[in-house]
Structure 1
Amino acid sequence: MRLKTIRTPLAAAAALLAVLAGAPAHAEEPEPVSGDVVTAPGLELRGEFDEERYDVWANVLGLKPHGGEETLVVYCIDIHTPLDTESPYTEGDWEESGVANLEQVRWVLFSGYPNVGAADLVEAAGAEVNPDWDDEKLEQVAFAGTQAAVWHFTDDWNLLKDNPVKGGNNGEDEAVLAVYNHLTEETGSVPDPSGFTVDLEGEESATFEDGRFGPYTVRSNAGPVELSAEGGRLETADGEAVESLNDGGQFWIVLDEGTNEITVKGNAQYDLPVGRVFLATSDEALSGDAVNPMTVGDSQKLILAQPREGEVPAEWRFALDTPESSEAPKPQLPSTGSSLTVAFAAGLALLVGGLTVIALGKRRKAADH
């Protein structure tokens, strides 16, 4: 069996593209997004650092991108620093922000509000939704519980177990604490999507039997892979048509009559909390082109909670040598290389729009919070 290396410009989400050959590719980053902060009232939380009290506001916070109409969901990841509401924020690197535990924070965002609805999150945490709460109050509770969990990982801050919400005597105490515990106990980790890959195994071991080649095994850490073929069809072990396979799923190739080549395409799509950091101290924010040029130094860091939609496309082109008779001894098909070479494109598109919520941390005693 001969494998042809290809180099094909495959489209990624929102026309964001990175084409690589050989090893699985890392996606190119989107163009940085900049915008202005908008705020709404939230809940005051009672917590501590190293067993010393430190109370903080978890206000509803959003970021409206320049040139856009909708508002992005962001959370505070820098509990000690005041928010600069007069200056624009621009996307920066996580490493540049100096904030810890990105993979755990992504998991909190993935499992918290707004990726899980406010009522669903409270109930999943084992708490009750007070029927007297209006939508604004329910959202504030879900925001505050999620924000508290974010601060737990980014700033090593702990929510008090006794009366965690100042004035929270209408069920807010129990609900916020339940959401916080739900998101900080047995927390998982969500990797950066640039590490997502789609690969294929079996090129060295595949055989020809009963008119088909295989098996080939799909490897994906980006979720299910949709599959299609040109020049033949893909089958399961039982002869059923293959449309999608999870990691470890197998398929067999049946060539169209009169051809010995087939192109197999795979595509894994996913939604993932962006986990991108916004900083007010970026070059864009300091420039004269900014809507509100920076007038202060350091400002609170924010993290985007809105989902990013992306895909990892892959393509494999085979030239297969079909034995003249299926009655002949089953050969080990020759291969031109020791490993499969894959060319694919991977892109990540930042979704701008949808939700208008997030929590903002402010020190209780700070006059400007």
Structure 2
Amino acid sequence: MVSAISESRASSASSGAPGPAVSSASAAPFARSVWRRGAARLAAAVLLPGLLAVGTLAGAGTAAADDVPQHLGGASATLDGLKTFGGAVLHTAGEDQELPAGLFEMTVEGGGTLKTYCIDIHNPTQAQAKYQETPWAQTSLGANDDAGRIRWILEHSYPQVDDLAHLAAVAKTGPLTDQTAAAGTQVAIWRFSDGADVDASDPAAEKLADWLEKNARDTPEPAASLTLDSAAVSGRAGERLGPVTVRTNADRVTVTPPVDVGVADVASAAGVKITDKAGKEVTTATNGSQLFFDVPAGADDGTASLAVQATTSVPVGRAFAGVTRSQTQILAGSSDSTVSATATATWAASGAIPAISAAKNCARSGVDVTVANEGDAEFTFELAGDEHAVAPGESRTVTVPVVEDQPYEFAVNGPDGLTKTFKGVLDCRTTGTAPPPDEQITTQLGTDSEGAATAGLTDNLAETGSSSATPLIAGIAIALVALGGAAIFLLRKRKPTPPTD
């Protein structure tokens, strides 16, 4: 087991650092292709894009900690289905297979709507799958040299460009409809996300796809709508623990006062305040703000968390990964939507004081578990069958290998009953291979306000787009809090800018 795990040491200044970045082009909810593979589709675990350690630490009590899965921040949403689409033909293994191509829609937890294209043509989606905003590095986009061209396509085509007459004139396609524009855009994206040999069924859509493919330029990954630089911090009672740095495109975020997540002492967060570097208590923050947990001297050993939230438009080109196995999506348009992020602090008067976090590491096909120790004694823990130790003031990252597209579960076990359990599914690569010829490509239809299937392609469509694993997945997926409300979908309206050579 030792040879299967890689470690790296860092100074205390880098405690809680996330693992290597990974691209977000490995799932394709827009052209949801589902092949009937029964139990093989069971994605029975929850994806934890950025796990935050919670509960009591080794010196704070003997109770085992409950894991509270959270991602690195941003929007969380539920897939509503394929809403605006046309037809396409996938050429693979000597077979021509028809499939739908176009825009999916998602409903954001807390309010808002997203429109997305898929970026993994061979991977199925699940009905009402949960998705989270995810860095490219934690998806297939991280290893895709053409990821930036996909973003260029999103910015220069439908729905970002909703003047279809102008788009048709620039691309010389002939008349375009919403459906053919969406199909042509999705086809062009698949050529870069999957290297797929795919054509749009409609001649105008095919011309649009060719024009987008030819003119696409490398464009940087957009910044997150909201994230925190540190997922977990630790230190002694009587100190300000941090910093936790806010990164957001929102004008301002609200800061929720500390919430206790300790198991041994439910009152351990009493008296803890969120402050700036100077010690002034804060309830709002802006991009670049540094937040600290101000823990009173003499406070009982414990753990607490803070949350930040804002309403903003999620940047076009952000990736959305499934909480369970489901095609990865890439954002094509956003209304004003609720975004949030969470950080955790652990404190004690003396002894080892660990801060534990985890993040997917697509570059190493595993999950990075980072343990920082801000105490005055060595912290020892067991992970994946091996013993590890972190000296005071140091940080260690252990990469636990996991199998692509398969559920994983492992725990960090420390002294005095400390346990942090991490569960998820690693989805870092596009499937890249076609289904057997006897398996049918299907899609997920959206529904209107009365629950009726939306209009679209009628050949070879599944009833709901879900696999037989859907009930099990729904039963074990994380419960995301739906705060309600729906924002009016506001897509930026502009004309495409002709590319320059």
Q: Tell me which of the two structures has the higher relative contact order, counting C-alpha pairs closer than 8 angstroms and 6 or more residues apart.
A: 1
TM tier, shorter chain? 0.3 to 0.5
TM-score (norm 1): 0.44
Q: Which of 1 and 2 has greater Rg?
A: 1
Q: TM-score, normalised by structure 2?
A: 0.33
